[in-house]
Amino acid sequence: MTTSRRHFGQALLAAAAAAPALAHAAAGPRPAIHARRLRPGDTIGLVSPANATYEREPLQIAIELLQALGFKVKLGASVAARYGQFAGTDAQRAADINAMFADDAVAGIIAMTGGSGCNRIVDKLDYKLIAAKPKFFGGFSDLTSLINAIHTQTGLVTFHCPVAGSEWNGFSLASFRAIVMEGQAYTLRNPSGERGDNLVQTQDRITTIRGGKARGRLLGGNLAVLSSLAGSAYYPDFRGAVLFLEEINEYIYRCDRMLSTLRLAGSLDALAGVVIGKFTKCEPGEGNYGTLTLDEVFDDYFKGLNVPVFRGAMIGHIKRKHTLPVGAEVEIDADAGTIELLRPATV
């Protein structure tokens, strides 16, 4: 084969691979679908789309936690399975999610834990089924790929929320109940005035990078997982959206590289606003000389967008965290550090 013919063939293959993502981008976001709000007495499907749970006790605690919230619990067939680090094979984990959406007795679905592996099954979910039988679906961290893929493919508003194996405290529970169970048009804000032994508040502060208010669909999640979807048919259309991000245990230069992926994908070009959550233990790499700070990285990527941006929202790998409806219409106030739902995320 000649060089030109080989290059032509490679170009055709690349175009074919990119076609689904390009078609999705041209079509724009799908109309939002809102799941029924969860009520005490409902059955929740507990699935493990990512990492395995290696001991029996954490699974039992998660079951008891959901029961304490007033729910009945149905376990996915592979929730306690293991294949390497995953909770079963890709086919098993995807089948659990599809089965829960198909089951009319199940009102909602929540992940046991994050970890890794959700990207392996985004193309194995039955999106026609999900659109036909919409229901609550929630999780965070590695679940970023599934909550964004489901919203992108169906329009269903999904939830960046604590997984069943998380610590559920009063703060986390308040926003989950208000948004998911009570269907409130809730305003998410950090607690204020918590000084402890200090003269001023030092924890969970809001930093305004660029002030103002903005409205748009709320999209985002874990930076590493979100950036890994770029170029696929499961990657959100960020035009006119409010982007939220969080991260954990990544060197600053890696966060910088992931943000450059979002920029090069065109995802930052037409944002309405940005909410930066917690970047927990994201520090300079060992031996790095003169690394940029996170302040400088965020300024470089977001300050010049001329949209409202704030940092410090209680989103991410922290004990107290907000529940955020992915795909819901919100208004952010970057001066006050708030995210206001413009309509209930559940009906």
Known catalytic residues are 141, 246, 317
Give the list of residues 6+ apart from residue 133 with CB closer than 8 angstroms, or none. Answer: 101, 102, 104
CA distances from residue 7 to 2, 16, 19, 115, 231 in whole angstroms, order as listed: 9, 14, 18, 38, 21
Dist CA 274 CA 218 (whole Å) = 9
Q: Which residues of 177-216 are buried (b: 16+ CB within 10 A; e: fewer)?
A: bbbbbebbebebbbeeeeeeeeeeeeebebebbbeeebeb
For residues 214, 137, 139 and 188, what is the CA-based torsion angle, rounded to 10 degrees? Answer: 30
Q: Which of 262, 261, 227, 247 is nearest to 294 (CA)?
A: 247
Number of residues in the chain:
347
Dist CA 47 CA 100 (whole Å) = 9
- Give 192's Cβ-side CA count (13 Å radius): 6
- Give 331's Cβ-side CA count (13 Å radius): 10
CA dihedral for 150, 155, 159, 164, sign (positive or negative): negative
Strands (E), the chain: 43-47, 72-75, 108-111, 136-139, 158-160, 187-189, 207-210, 213-222, 242-248, 273-280, 309-311, 324-326, 329-333, 338-341
Q: Which of 264, 236, 230 is nearest to 27 (CA)?
A: 236
The DSSP 8-state label assigned to residue 285 in this structure reads P
Dist CA 150 CA 145 (whole Å) = 8
